[in-house]
Each structure stands twice: as structure tokens, then as C-alpha cells.
Chain A
Amino acid sequence: MNAYAVKKNVSSDKIIVADDMMLTVDMPTTAGSKMLDGYMSLLESEALTRLKAEGYVLGGKADVGEFAIDLLGETSSRGALFADGALKNAAAQIVASGEASAAICLDANGSVRRAAAQSGLISLKPTYGTVSRYGVIPVACSGDTVSILADNTDTCGNIIDVIAGHDAKDGTSLSDELCSKLKKSAEYSPVRRVALLTSMTDGIDADVKAKLDAAVEALTKSGVEVVSVENEIIASARPAWNVLMSAELCNNVSRYDGVKYGYRAQSFNGIDELYTNSRTEAFGDLLKTAIIFGSETLSTENYMKVYDKCLRVRRVIVEEFAKIFGEFDAILMPTCSSLSYTEEQIANNRHLAFEENFYTAPASISGLPAVVAGGVQLVGSAFTERALLTAAKIIAKEGR
């Protein structure tokens, strides 16, 4: 069962669903992991609390891949969700079916954006620090962003209007003054010039190419100038993000030890075996691989050579983005290489999420906002969500 605990008899046009990275007090939160099977939190995600205060109703939870680092949810302890031979994301399925008007999800490694692109939905990954991470299971804290999935840009705009804002409970939360730039009332400059980042189109299939072409055509028809731009440095975000994400993940999941909460192995001999057996039995393969990789990048031997290098590469990438935004209002690029992943693809490459994030890592590592519409992705400079959503509306209308 991939969408679970959906409350019945809820009548509201403001029904939302939360993915299973968002802590909820009246439903379990599992992060898609056997480690947290049945876990009931005492805390609630700040984003959900703010939405409830504005009349939104939490209709239920949607399953995620284990700690949200996979493609679309295939590593969940409940199993992958396939339909018509293609891998599906639970939150996107719920929103696409109309059971909820939107989903609030954690974008840690691009799964929300891939889900939007492959389901014909809209997603908004806001500027890092504008939506509180309080009450969200941490994965890669320096990039984790509470994001929105909906079937139209207006709903994304309405929800970000509610959830963006300073929260003293989150040490990385930005000031209300900065967050107010995301509000509906904020003035913004519309998108007039877009850079089509051709160095990010490597490996895309014909369907994705067609989506990009349709987006370019829609934008051009509406008077937006689209110019092809090459930038190999931004295209190198993936390996750097894989290092930073895995290192932070490795630290964040070290808290799961089978003592205070979560899964405990039935059989062990001594405290070390309790830890080892609990983690070995509860964690899935991709998570274990990422933990081992992240841990190695933080070792004495590799810290400066690998981890420190990636922190410096992050600054180089941010500076490259700034150069482009000196000339353009937004960057257009693919969200994924293909509009569907088959069961065979998943079986043949268990690390595909760490390759497919080629398209999502640039916005993750730089904390920039990204809106997915019509299967493609628009990335803007910080706090340009309103402008991106307006441009996305043009693409969604013409490109889907």
C-alpha cells in the first residue's frame, strides 16, 4: 500500500497530503523505512501547522522512498509503486487523481521534481530557508527543502503564500523580510529572458526533448526571449551534491540505533550487536550504500580531497548561476532524462537516483528555487518564485 492512512469523510477543497518525511502527530511517519515503521511523532511539521491554521485539511500521508534519496519512492520498505509498467510516486498519484489538491513533500534529491515532470504536475521547490524545516525528517540539511506538488501553478502559489516565513525553531530559516518576497502580495519582475542550458540536455530522450521544445515555443510565443547557453560547471553539480548529500545523510541517520525509538532487532548479543543488527535489518540497500559512501568522504584521508573540495565547488556553482542571472531571468533545463522509469531500468541500475539527479542537483546544491511545469524545470535566482510560477503557467498551458 503506497498511499496510506488517507482520512475518509473529509470534505474540503483544501485537502492536502503530506509525504512521509513530514512529521504528523495523528498518523505515523516512517520516512519509507522499516527503521521508523509505525513511528508516531510528538511534533508536527511547521509547514503543515501553518496550512492547517489557514483551513487546509491533512487528508493523509503519501509513501516515500527510504529517506527520500531515490528516484520516485521505489526504495520504500512497502515496495515500489508501478502502473502500466512505469514507476510512480505516491504523492503525485494522489494529487493527479484529485484526492488532494496538493502535496507537501521533502525535496532532498529531486524526487518531487521528477514526480511532477513524469506525472504532468507542477512542483515548486522554494528558495532554501524560506520554508521551515522544523518537523521534517532531516536528510541533507544544507539542501533539504519543503516543496509543493499540485496540478496547477495557482495552488502552488497559494500554498507557498501560507508556508513561507521565518520560523525561530529552524536555525536555517531566513528573515520574514526575505521570505515576504514569496508572498502573493510581493511585487516581482516577470521573466523576459530565459537561458536554455544546453549542457544540461545530455542524455535526455526524445520525449523530454519534445517537452523542452514545447516549453521554448510556449515561452517564445508569449514574448519571452529564449537563448541557448553552455555551462559545464553547473553540469558538474551532480557529483558534488552526491558527496555533500551522502555525508550529511550519513550523519543524520546515525541517530537511528534501536534504543530510543524505531526498529530494534529481535536477536543480539551485547550493545554493539543491538546497534548493528537493528540498523542492518532495518535499512535498505541504497541507504546503506549512501551511508558508506558519505562516511568515506568524511574520513581523515578524504575530508579535504573530497568533502572540502565539494564545498568549494558549491561556491563555484553558485557564482556561475549568478553570472547567468546577470543576463537572464531564469534557466530552462530538463528535470529528468526520461518521462518514465521502467521496472527493468530500476532493476538494472540500483544507483540510478545518483545519476538521474544530474538534472536536479544544480538547484539542490545552490538552494535556488525551481519550478517544474510541462515536464521541464525553470530555475531562478533566490526569491523569484512568483516570476517562475508565472512563466511556468505559460509552459503548463502550452506544453502539456
Chain B
Amino acid sequence: MERDTIRRLELLNQLRLTDSQKDDVMAFFAKREDDLKALEKIDTAETERMVHVMPIMTVVREDTVSQNFSREALQAGAPETDEGYWCVPKVVE
């Protein structure tokens, strides 16, 4: 794990880490690399992926409204709104 990689991951995840947090992340990765080496010993060449542990099928249902909320209720927890719109800084100059 290089510092450049951490910087890329910070940007990707919209986060900014302090130097001390970066050290912490690097220590975490070092431990996990040892873990992953242990996993390599498990032969999975003939094994299929298991995404769901239970027999779960894709859910198909009628496209009908079952629960409705007002715009005011939906925006009640928003940091900033204006006349029913969520506010963000100007994106296009």
C-alpha cells in the first residue's frame, strides 16, 4: 500500500485523511494482506461465487405506490432547501 494509492482512494470515496489516519490505514492494510495470503491457501478454482447464502430470487412486483410521503416530509431532514428543492453549491459557472 503506497501513499499514492491512499490518495486515489480518498478521492474516490470523497474523504480526506490526516497523516496519522493514513498511517492507521496503512497498518490496517498490512494486517489484511497477511489475512489474504491465508485465504490463497483455500482452493476455489472449481468453486462458484456465493453472493446470497439463501435461495433468494429477484423480486418482481407491481409498480404501484404503497407508501407516499409529502415533499415537505421528505425534505425535513435536508441541510438546506429552497422552495422544495435541495440546495447545493453552483455546479455550472
Q: Which residues from chain A sit less than 8 Å from chain B, CB to CB? A: 39-40, 42-43, 127-129, 142, 168, 171-172, 174, 233, 236, 238-240, 242-243, 250, 254, 257-264, 268-272, 274-277, 279-280, 283, 285, 288-289, 291-293, 295-296, 306, 308-316, 318, 350-351, 354-355, 365-367, 382
8 pairs from A and B in contact (CB 8 Å cutoff): A39-B77, A42-B73, A239-B38, A260-B86, A270-B89, A293-B25, A315-B49, A355-B31
Assembly CA distance A129 to B57 (angstroms): 12
Complex contact A128–B53 (CB within 8 A) = yes
CB atoms of B39 and A261 under 8 A apart: no
Main DSSP-derived SS at the B contact region? loop
Of all chain B residues, the one with the shortest Cβ separation from A294 is B13
CB neighbours (8 Å) of B50 from chain A are 311-312, 314-315, 318
| CB of B93 to closest CB in A, whole Å | 10
Chain B residues with CB below 8 A from A314, complex form: 49-50, 53
A373–B47 CA distance with the chains assembled, in angstroms: 35
Q: How far, in whole Å, are A264 and B81 apart by their CA atoms in the complex?
A: 12
Partner of B44, one of A127, A129, A283, A316: A316
Chain B residues 33-76 with CB under 8 Å of chain A are 35-36, 38-40, 42, 44, 47-56, 58-59, 61, 67, 69, 73-74, 76
Of A42, A171, A250, A313, the residue contacting B42 (CB under 8 A) is: A313
* Contact call B61/A168, Cβ cutoff below 8 A: yes
Contacting pair A289 B25 (CB below 8 A): yes
Q: Which residue of B lies closest to A301 (CB)?
A: B5
Chain A residues, Cβ within 8 Å of B54: 127-129, 172, 174, 367, 382
Partner of A315, one of B48, B56, B61: B48
Chain B contributes a number of interface residues (CB within 8 A of A) equal to: 51
- Kindly list chain A residues whose C-beta atoms are within 8 Å of the C-beta of B28: 289, 293, 351, 354
Q: Which among A174, A262, A312 is the interface contact of B47 at CB below 8 angstroms?
A: A312
Flag if B51 contacts A240 (CB, 8 Å): no
Contact between B35 and A239, CB atoms less than 8 A apart: yes
- A residues within 8 A CB of B74? 42
Given contacts A42-B74, A367-B53, A271 and B14 within 8 Å (CB-CB): no
Interface SS of chain A: helix, strand, loop or mixed?
A: helix
Task: Name 9 extra pairs, CB < 8 A, besides A42-B74, A276-B14.
Answer: A127-B54, A142-B53, A172-B52, A250-B13, A288-B17, A292-B9, A292-B17, A296-B5, A309-B44
- Residue among A236, A269, A291, A354 making CB contact with B38, cutoff 8 Å: A236
Question: Within the complex, what minimum Cβ distance (angstroms) separates B41 from chain A?
Answer: 8
Q: Give, as a whole number of angstroms, the nearest-CB distance from B33 to chain A.
A: 10
A271 and B88 contacting across the interface, CB-CB below 8 Å: yes
**Beta-carbon nearest neighbor of B73 in chain A:** A42
A361–B89 CA distance with the chains assembled, in angstroms:
42
Structural contact, A313 and B12, CB atoms closer than 8 A: no
Task: Please measure, in the bound complex, the distance between the C-alpha atom of A261 and the C-alpha atom of B91, giving whole angstroms.
Answer: 19
Complex CA–CA separation, A280 to B10 (angstroms): 10
Does A280 contact B16, Cβ atoms closer than 8 Å? yes
Contact A280 B44 (CB under 8 A): no
Whether A311 touches B24, Cβ cut-off 8 Å, given contacts A279-B15, A291-B15, A292-B9, is no
Q: Which 5 A-B pairs rank lowest in CB-CB distance, beginning with the nearest?
A: A239-B35, A264-B79, A367-B53, A312-B44, A315-B50
In the docked arrangement, what's the CA distance between A172 and B9, Å?
30
- Contact B88 A171, beta carbon cutoff 8 Å: no
Known A274-B89, A289-B25, A313-B42; judge A306-B14 contact (CB<8 A).
no
